């Protein structure tokens, strides 16, 4: 169990529906503990168990939700 916090910079959000959909997609991943999004900054902060959900897994979920991880 190695819980870490990752900050993803996300492009493509236009409204709270976008950031909410992204948070929902991230929360579906096994190993994701919590997701906080900041629409204005375009940032998602994810607390996750690195051994179950890697940063690459997070980025994939964001991409599949229709947005781009830019940092």
Residues contributing to the site for Cu ion (CB under 5 A): 14-15, 17-18
Give least dist CB 44 to Cu ion, A: 14
19-55 CB burial, b ≥16 within 10 A, e <16:
bebbbebbeebebbeebebebeebbbebebbeeebbe
Q: Which residue's CB is nearer to Cu ion, number 3 or number 17?
A: 17
Spatial distance between the Cα atoms of 13 and 22, rounded to a whole number of angstroms: 9
Give least dist CB 60 to Cu ion, A: 20
Give least dist CB 38 to Cu ion, A: 14
Q: Which residue's CB is nearer to Cu ion, number 1 or number 15?
A: 15
């Amino acid at each position: 169990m190695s819980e870490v916090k990752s900050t993803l910079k996300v492009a493509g959000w236009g409204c709270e529906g976008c950031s909410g959909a992204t948070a929902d997609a991230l929360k579906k991943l096994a190993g994701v503990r919590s997701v906080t999004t900041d629409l204005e900054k375009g940032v998602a902060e994810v607390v996750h168990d690195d051994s179950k959900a890697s940063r690459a897994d997070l980025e994939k979920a964001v991409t599949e939700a229709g947005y781009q991880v830019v940092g």
